[in-house]
Structure formats: structure tokens, C-alpha cells
Amino acid sequence: MEKRNIIVIGASTGGFEAIKQLVAALPADLDAAIFIVWHMSPNMRGILPQVLNQQNTLLATNAIDKEPISANHIYVAAPDKHLVLEQGMVRTTRGSKENRFRPAVDPLFRSAAASYGSRVIGIVLSGALDDGTAGLWTIKSRGGIAIVQEPAEAAVPSMPASALAAVEVDYCVSIAEMAPLLVKLTAETVAEANEVAMDEQNKTSREVRFAAQDPTFEQRHPAFGQLTPYACPDCHGVLSAVTDGDIIRYRCHTGHAYSADSLLASITEKIEDTLWNAIRGVEESIFLLNNLGDHYAEKNQPKLAAMYFKKAQEAAVRADIVRQTVFSHEQLTTASISKQVAEDEAA
């Protein structure tokens, strides 16, 4: 009988300390391989393995493409590289961003579930928005174990809270409770993987191949799922809605993928950029209109000059209206909306 010996961990803001504390509490002889995605800037040095090795437990390294998987080892996603699992080896790729990140948590979780089924333990730690929720659902649907950090303990609770709300999580525990829990779970044998519908298998396989940059995979075909009126914030392709149980998310045919929360954050963020561009364009027209007004005034054409000055004043009024719209614009997330609902109820 096989054991649960594939542990995948996802974290973002606030997750650095959580990962460090968890690894420090693990025994050095843990009979499992651990894979970690922590959101980071693409220009950031991969310092997490160095920090984890100071805990003197399991050896941690930045994952190398196509290296074999070994027990008692921690593989950390390198900056600007997705970490994807295949049978017996890891892949590191520059596949399309998911949830605005590379590395992202969902590709790791999804690929682990596809390759190792019920042998997988998925863990969501501190972080903003909801990367990891869809991937944890895939792990759970294939018989794996779903664990989240207690949101009240997390520095940023959005990622574990999102997973709790959308997935039938097996354990919601503190970091202090997590290490002994993993020791217990990795010692258990597992049953056969859950039977998964063919459509669901094909969907997961295709998404894994997107992230893995499979050279045999032809990406230029219509996206699966229901087409939506939304444009991909990265490439402006049409997004299709994809469902995992009750979870809805979005993917374009080039491979970019968004949870509902990350799409909302991206769209509302870009609204502000668009409005500032509109203000810039209107103000440029004001400068030009006034310059032309001065020009015609010098040419002794007062009526034409006056019309240019008038149009400049009208444009200034419009610029002020757009500027006030920018100042009142909100960058929205599901967490910020839920907070407003709670505040309204408390009022």
C-alpha cells in the first residue's frame, strides 16, 4: 500500500514566517517530499531554501527542471518559475501566469493531484486573495488531504479563509499543530484514488500542460468552459469560465488564469490606470488648445483664439470630473467587500 508522501504547500503575504515555523518543527526523517510555492517578485533572489536549511531539518533547494523527486527533501519554486509535478520528477517552467503570479499555487496543487491522487497532502497558508483554493479542491476531489492554516492565526487570512469557504477541508489548524499532523498523515497508507469523471480528468490534464509548457500540446484552439464578456487583463484575450464544484474561475486560450477574486482585483486595478490615462489625454488636449489659442491671438484672429480657449476650459471641466472619479474609485476584492458587509451589519 502506498503512503501519503507528497506534501504541497502554498503561501503568499505573511507565509514566509509560517513556512519557516512549520519546517523547523518537522522531523529530519520525514518520509515525504515537500513542494513549496511562495509568491514572490520575479526579480527576487530565491532565498527561501537558504532560510529553511538554517532550521536543520530537511534539505531544501530551489527546484531544478526535470530533477527526480526524493523523500526527505523540500523543493521550492524558483522566482518567476511555476513548479509542476510529473510522475517521479519536478518541472519548472515559465508558463502563463495564474492569479497574477508565477510561481502560482494552483498549478502545483493541480499537477500534484493529477500525478499522485490520494497520496497528496495540500496545505494553504497565509496570503492575500485566493490562489490555492481551486488547486486544493482538485486535490480533495482526487482523494487527497486538504489542510489550511487557522485564518485567525494567519498574518493575512484571505487565502486560508477562501479555501475554507470553498473546499471541504480536512483540517484547519495552527502552525504548531501542523507538523505533528503531517507526521501522522504521512505514516498512513492510502486507499485508491477517487474515480474522476473523464471530462474533469481532461480539463485538469490540459491545465497542467498549459503550466508545464508541454511542447506537444497545441494551445491555439478555443478555450474550454463558457465564454464570457471579460477580457484577459494580461493579453486581452476572451476569458472562459471554468468550474470546479462550486468554484468559478477564468482562463484565456493563451493560458492566463484567474480566480474570481484575482480577476476582480485585476479589473478594478486597471480601471484606475485607465482613468489616469484618460486624464492625461484630456490635459494634453488642454495644453494644445491653449497653445493654439495663443497662436491665433498672436495672428490677430481673436474669435478663433477665443473658441480654442473656450474648448480648453470645457476640457478642464471634464478632466476634473474624471479626476474625482479616480479619487472615489475602489480597488475591490472579495475580502474587502465582505469586510464592508460586516461593517454594515455592525452599524
Q: Which residues are catalytic?
A: 12, 39, 131
- The sign of the dihedral angle between the CA atoms of 58, 56, 67, 79 is positive
Q: What is the CA radius of gyration of the chain?
A: 25
Residue 288: phi, psi to the nearest 5?
-65, -45
Q: What share of the chain is helix, strand, coil (3-state, %, to 5)?
A: 45, 20, 35
Rounded CA separation 197/201 (Å): 6
